[in-house]
Amino acid sequence: MKKGLKVVLNIAIVLSALALVALLSGIMLIEPKVKINGFAVLDKARLENVNKTVTVLDNDGNTVNDAIYDNNKIFTDINSLPDHTAAAFIAVEDKRFYSHHGVDYLRMISAAKNNLFSGSFKEGASTITQQLVKNTHLKNDKTISRKIQEIRIARDLERHYTKDEILEMYLNILYFGNNIYGIGTASYVLFDKSPSELSLHESALLAAIINNPSRFNPYSHPDAALSRRNSVLKKMRNQGYISSDECKAAQDEELVVSDKRNILNQYMNNCIVEAENILGIDKSDLFSGGYTILSYYDSGLQGQIDKMISDNTVENGIINIIIADNENGRFLANSGNSLADLSCRKRQPGSTIKPFVSYAPALEMKNVYTVTPVLDEKTTFGNWTPSNFNDKYYGWVSVEDSLVKSLNVPAVKLMEMNGVEQSKKIAGKFGITFSAKDTSLAVALGGLTDGITLNTLTDAYRTFANGGLYSKGKYVREIIDKNGKTVYCDSGSTYRRAISEDNAYLMTEMLQKCAKSGTAKQVGYANYDAAAKTGTAGNKDGNTDAYCVAYTPKYTVSVHISAIDGLLDNSCAGGTLPAKLARKILTMLNDKSKFCAPETIISADIDLNELINNKKVMLASEEIKEIDKKKALFSSENMPLTYSTPQTYIEKESPLDDFDNFKILD
């Protein structure tokens, strides 16, 4: 009796459910043009935005489609797709797509019945048209009100667009996981091919993913993705889209996807950000505006650094590399193995900031020469006692040697000598910004509240190569609107003087030695001219950031490795992998040009005994033996004016009067 009662009860529930569906269906038959207060209506502008995207061209005018950039999608024309691609989505998502008018009432009733008998609401009944409406017009909440609006708009949509137009819009708004939007982008990222080249089994895999992009992620859950793909193929066979032999052959194909899902194209993303700033609009307006951005992207260089990054993975680490043209500030390549946007990402710069906050200001303020002795020893500044790497100290060292070895105490002493605010003011001329909280001497060692972006750091080092002239780097060459009108064209760099040409050259001279024998010695760029500086932020337990910025007369290369979560291994420091990668890139660029000294740079002999014994930088008089002399470079605007003899000092009005002791360098 109880069993019979249960059966009757189930039948009653199902009949009630079907009656409810029928009632709701009746409501849906209301003419969509009849407005219901608070209900959304068809908005054609939302649908038209589907085919609007930002197109980025490289420096040769070719469209860049090889990687994704910040939710951008590659729009795909429905007519360019193989028949089996569209069939795969229809088979699994909406088999009566070409016969219904936006709503599949039979499927709604079947889903309601199945959900009731299973005691769950797992089976959906939305058509492709309804899914398009949901993703362009409505929120994703599960309410009867939203469902009614979805059905009304879907029916109205089908009155204004053909089935192929609806399917095209649908395929271009789908989310495939891993930050991939649209079938065009999915094809390039997952299979490294145009959507027009998709095979049967690849099309089935894409159709399989969208049901649950996380669960059927082919990277993290390949077995589940493969099983779901085969299920899609089976449905295609059962619905007559493919034969049994085609189904079996496709099911036998291995699951092979490319590794591009780990790479957000940082160059393209920088283009997007720069274009927003140039036009003064936000990202949504940029994308909906259908703009075309012409960039300085060098696809050849980009491909090579992409490969370097993929060949040198770092556990728990993100590698970000930038290549820039020094003279015109054009960023030629920017690659990073991250799905995060690195364009505005600020990190602690470590010792890479020392040249700008300690050394360049000290030269510019005429506080030191490159050969001025500085005592490197454990020193307390107020209540702060910074330490050198491995707590090792070298005693009296020259300003140059302290930079080459990247010693911490001398860098702090120089900033203290300059004054923190004056040091920051000069560093600001290199494009470096500081927080109002950055008021302590810790700034000398990269202790910044907000950190610094790799773009900013690259521009700062380019300034040395450009003789002390700063210009902001750029990714964008030209911007064209949807009507073909040029709304922006790069008119050339705007320069400002950061430091004197002489001091920029002296900084480069010191950094060349850093690249040959100092912390950046892994750069060791053969017999060509290259300057470099490393930087590492971390502690004894591990590092958070490791840098090497290297430059030749023509190019600047910045390599940054940062921890994703927690710490990098201590073996990953600025002087290790970052420096090695910088060397490979400089070798690839093959710049054989030379750094040219300004005419106002003077080579002079200084008295070695005075330097060592009395810590004074004095010009060596003729009486001094060659063994007791040391050659040094000076700016004619900042050099010692006092000569020495074995017993006495002789004052002279100008060192330039003694032509036997000086020469002009080419």
Q: Which of 288, 335, 351, 562 is catalytic?
A: 351
From residue 509, how far is each of 144, 201, 282, 323, 597 by CA, in Å? 73, 59, 43, 21, 9
Could you give the CA distance from residue 244 to residue 139 in angstroms, rounded to a whole number? 40
Please check whether residue 131 is in contact with residue 123, taking contact to mean a CB–CB distance below 8 angstroms.
Answer: no
Could you give the CA distance from residue 30 to residue 16 in angstroms, rounded to a whole number? 22
Please check whether residue 435 is in contact with residue 416, taking contact to mean a CB–CB distance below 8 angstroms.
Answer: no
Could you give the CA distance from residue 221 to residue 212 in angstroms, rounded to a whole number? 11
**Is 622 considered catalytic here?**
no
Please give the full DSSP string across 317-379, using - where no structure is assigned: EEEEEEEEETTT-BEEEEEES-SS--TT--B--GGGGHIIIIIHHHHHTTS--TT-EEEES--
Tally Cβ neighbours within 10 Å of residue 263: 21
Q: Which helix (H) or strand (E) holds 150?
A: helix 144-160
Q: Which of 578, 586, 507 is nearest to 536 (CA)?
A: 578
Please check whether residue 294 is in contact with residue 479, taking contact to mean a CB–CB distance below 8 angstroms.
Answer: yes
Residue 161's Cβ-side half-sphere holds a number of Cα atoms within 13 Å equal to 23
Please check whether residue 115 is in contact with residue 21, taking contact to mean a CB–CB distance below 8 angstroms.
Answer: no
Q: Which of 365, 364, 391, 360 is nearest to 378 (CA)?
A: 391
- Specify the residue for token string 């009155």: 159
231 by Cβ neighbours in 10 Å (0-12 / 13-18 / 19+) ranks as middle
**Cα angle 641-647-651, degrees, rounded to a multiple of 5:** 25
DSSP 8-state secondary structure symbol assigned to residue 452: B
Q: Which of 659, 661, 520, 532 is nearest to 595 (CA)?
A: 532
The residue count of the chain comes to 666
Q: Which helix (H) or strand (E) holds 602?
A: strand 601-607
Q: Where are the beta strands (DSSP E) in 10-163?
A: 55-57
Buried/exposed 414-450: b ≥16 CB within 10 Å, e otherwise: bbbbbebeebbebbebbbbebeeebeebbbbbbbbee
Q: Which residues are catalytic?
A: 93, 351
